Structure 1
Amino acid sequence: MKNLNRVAIAVSAALLTSAAGAVDFNGYMRAGTGLSGNNGENISFEKNKIGRLGNENDLYAEFGFRQELPKIEGMEDQKWVVDAMIAQGNSGNNGWEDGDFNVAQFNVQATGLIASDKEATLWAGKRYYQRKDIHITDFYYLNTSAGAGGGIENLSVGPGKLSAAWMLDEGTQETANGIPQAGAPSWANDTQVNGNIFDVRYSGLNLWNNATLELAGVYNFANEKEKQTITADDGVMLTAILQQGLSNGFNQTVLQYGTSSYGAQMADLGSGAWFDRSGEQNDANGYRVINWGVMSFGDKIEVGHQLMYAASTDASYGDGITGSSVKVKGDHSLMSAVVRPMYKWNQNMKTILELGVFSESYDGRDDKGGSKATIAQAWSMGDSFWARPELRVFASYITDDEGTTLGSSKGDSDYSIGMQVEAWF
């Protein structure tokens, strides 16, 4: 608690110095309680693959503070913003829980500094950088938010907008067979690696009616110390996002390709925010195809969905035995389908159904698979699919078709009933 107080005081002091009362407080939270048949407590199983509704068992919170600084005479067309966020998560099972409070964001953004392009923004610090996610599965398919960095956003180039960023991505590696590198100074034999991410985006490309294309390229590399040999190859992740606006919603198709650790992350549901520095993923390649969106059917029904196929080749992964550090190298593929229809009884009350299924195959280890069916009665501040806060009472039935996560035998299943809340503001 002392650490949280210090962080809160520092953030508040920095943001309130210029103009008291001008801070925009924003954030996100989720929490819930429940019980299950086999496990007793509230359970969560593969939510990124079969859906998060009635399938989350944590308490997570983000506290955001954003302030636009006062204008200075002669620079009225500029906008300077200080943006900060504290994030914390734990199980939520007790009245007083210890947990790590992370300064997830603390940065400065300046818009209007380039006379010929007043919409361009320069920024530096630590931030959630242009993250792309699918809400119903809480899956971030593109998220390079790592350490501190900086860049430029929304620079007008041709028909679209260019953004470029450089962020730190420190990691660790093991020396070969645990033996220090011969002749290297002691400080060069530590496992810390200076990792870096270059992220380039080009957005706003209009294709046809209500259709836009966004392209992203991410390059992750390590900067070697003197006499230090980095075992991991550099990695590249390429993304194309085609969004089609519809009269009743939107549909988005995502194509991704990765090499090295980013290749292994395709089937492992990585987002680009971390990188395996061990060198075990040097031969890996992978791709991912996603289609998702939200559509309304009349005034009463809205439906969200996720369809995904991902595959990685020559990837290194655990052998699937609990507690084992033995690695297997081979191909890894994943198929996932989730659909969430909802019926609106009035402006506040909804009935929500979520159905999900996934199948996952590996070379050299047992496959995985499972499904989920959840029904929830919900009350929200508005009747939109995205309306929050939302209070829910749910019942879920979950199957683990290949493993023993939900019990002691393969093909096990479990039920879960409980309450949830989710809010953003």
Structure 2
Amino acid sequence: MKTFKFLPIAVAVATSIASFSALVADDIEALTERIQALEAQSDPDLALKFTGYARYGARYAGGDSELVGIGSTGVAVGRLGNEANGGEFQFTKGFKTDSGMLWDVAIMLDHWESSDWGSEGGANVKKFYASGTNIFESQPGLRIWGGRDFHQRPQQGLNDYMWLAHDGQGAGFDNLDLGGAKFNLAFVGQVSDNGGALGNDNGKYAITSKLHGIDAGIGNLDLYFNYGFASDQAGTALEDENSWVAGAMLGLGSSNKIIAKYADGADNSAFDLAGDKKVMYVSLEGGVNPSENVFVDYLLSYKDISGDDATEQSEYSAIVRPMYNWNSVHSTWLEAGYAMVDQDAGGDQEGWKVTLSQNISMGGLPWSRPMVRFYATFGDVETTDASSVTTNVDTASLGAMFEAWW
């Protein structure tokens, strides 16, 4: 009898379990279809992106100076094993309108131990801007931007030199298609340091322009022209000052290029407003790949500084970096650099550096990152003043660091 009494209950429970299982199956199927639909509609341009560049490590220095520094063209004897710690960290969020316009908002914070790379405040707000593309039907690639940005800072690799630098805040546009070339134009104000690049613009301004993507037959040609000026906010000493900087970059095939620049009242930035100062800079850089495992990068440069408000001098630099990739993980680099500064008033400087680096990276190639390096650096800078008194500053260091861009 007890078996018959419990039978209806068992049937009810079994029916409930079966119904629940069917319901769960239906819910999972619906959820799966919903996820698939969302994935089909997703746009990678709209995702929150984290990008940046960083290098950090420890260096044991046994010489007079931790780094080998000479001249005014970045790290004129080569950057390998001769760099400051720091990084730049950016977050970007994309948006898309029903009409197809693409917008993004980005913020970048940076930190550098060297004031040559950042302000004295350490952590800086280097970027905070909004930009949009596909706004005009006739110019879908035209980018309109406003805010604070890294702006017109073409940079060379082996010497870590920005031969133009106009970081600031303002507005402008990029990639106006003229047919056969594209055009950039912007109005930017230099940002006051104020303990971490956290201030407003300081009264120094620049109109910047770039005509790029010109087919010169042997490679692409980019042309730059920038004009600098000041408002009353910059102070009476600068109210009548102005400057201009013109430059060109010509590609030679796929991996070599010539850079030429001339500035009046400035060096590499129209913000300089440096009075009677004239700077000419030319360089040849690139790389060759003699075999599957061997790469050689090089850079040669010459800079001349003249004018009543300048220390008149000529600067020369040569850097070569042969690299051997053992496999997709391990590589060995040797970088050697020489630089000289010859002052018109008498006196000169000569410097050299050699770095041997053993690397572990994701890919093993020269551009593969992230990379962990173990290196030894040796160098020397000899300075002779106008009265022929000579001093030496030597460098001998061992270090370990990582470098990455993402």
Shorter-chain TM band: 0.7 to 0.9
Alignment partners' CA distance in 1, 2:350 and 2:81: 18
CA 1:226–1:378: 2 relative to 1, 3 Å? closer
Which amino acid in 2 is paired with 1:49? A
The equivalent residue for 2:94 is: 68
Alignment partners' CA distance in 2, 1:195 and 1:226: 6
The equivalent residue for 2:303 is: 310
CA 1:368–1:90: 2 relative to 1, 3 Å? same
CA 1:126–1:226: 2 relative to 1, 3 Å? closer
Alignment partners' CA distance in 1, 2:302 and 2:321: 19
Contact 2:153–2:162 (CA under 8 A) maintained in structure 1: yes
**Deviation per CA, 1:395-422, whole angstroms, max 9, x where unpaired?**
1110112269xxx972343321111211
> Quick one: which of 188, 192, 209 aligns to 1:167?
188
Which amino acid in 2 is paired with 1:131? R
Q: Does 1:37 align with 2:77?
A: no
Q: Does 1:84 align with 2:107?
A: yes
Which amino acid in 2 is paired with 1:53? L
What's the TM-score, normalizing by structure 1?
A: 0.75
Alignment partners' CA distance in 2, 1:377 and 1:106: 37
The equivalent residue for 2:174 is: 153
Structure 1 residue runs of 5 or longer lacking an equivalent are: 1-18, 92-97, 173-191, 266-270, 317-328
| Cα offset, 1:222, TM superposition | 1.1
| 4+ residue runs over 2 A deviation | 36-39, 41-47, 169-172, 223-233, 363-366, 411-414
The equivalent residue for 2:369 is: 388
**Deviation per CA, 1:68-126, whole angstroms, max 9, x where unpaired?**
11x232x12x11111110111237xxxxxx96321110101100111211110100000
> Residues 399-414 of structure 1: matches in 2 within 5 Å?
399-402=380-383, 410-414=391-395
Q: Does 1:235 align with 2:209?
A: no
SS, match of residue 76 in structure 2: helix
The equivalent residue for 2:47 is: 22
Q: Does 1:59 align with 2:85?
A: yes
The equivalent residue for 2:18 is: none
* Identity fraction in percent: 26
> Residues 323-338 of structure 1: matches in 2 within 5 Å?
329-338=310-319
What's the TM-score, normalizing by structure 2?
A: 0.78
Which amino acid in 1 is paired with 2:80? L
Q: Does 1:293 align with 2:301?
A: no
Which amino acid in 1 is paired with 2:285? W
Q: Which has the larger radius of gyration?
A: 2
Contact 1:145–1:273 (CA under 8 A) maintained in structure 2: no
> Quick one: which of 202, 211, 223 aligns to 1:215?
223
Q: Does 1:110 align with 2:157?
A: no
Alignment partners' CA distance in 1, 2:263 and 2:304: 10
Alignment partners' CA distance in 2, 1:227 and 1:418: 45
How many pairs were matched up?
A: 344
Alignment partners' CA distance in 1, 2:111 and 2:287: 29
Which amino acid in 2 is paired with 1:30? R
Alignment partners' CA distance in 2, 1:360 and 1:42: 20
Which amino acid in 2 is paired with 1:206? D
SS, match of residue 158 in structure 2: helix
> Quick one: which of 374, 394, 397 aligns to 1:416?
397
Alignment partners' CA distance in 2, 1:86 and 1:139: 21
Alignment partners' CA distance in 2, 1:343 and 1:384: 9
| Cα offset, 1:218, TM superposition | 0.7
Which amino acid in 1 is paired with 2:187? W
Which amino acid in 2 is paired with 1:136? L
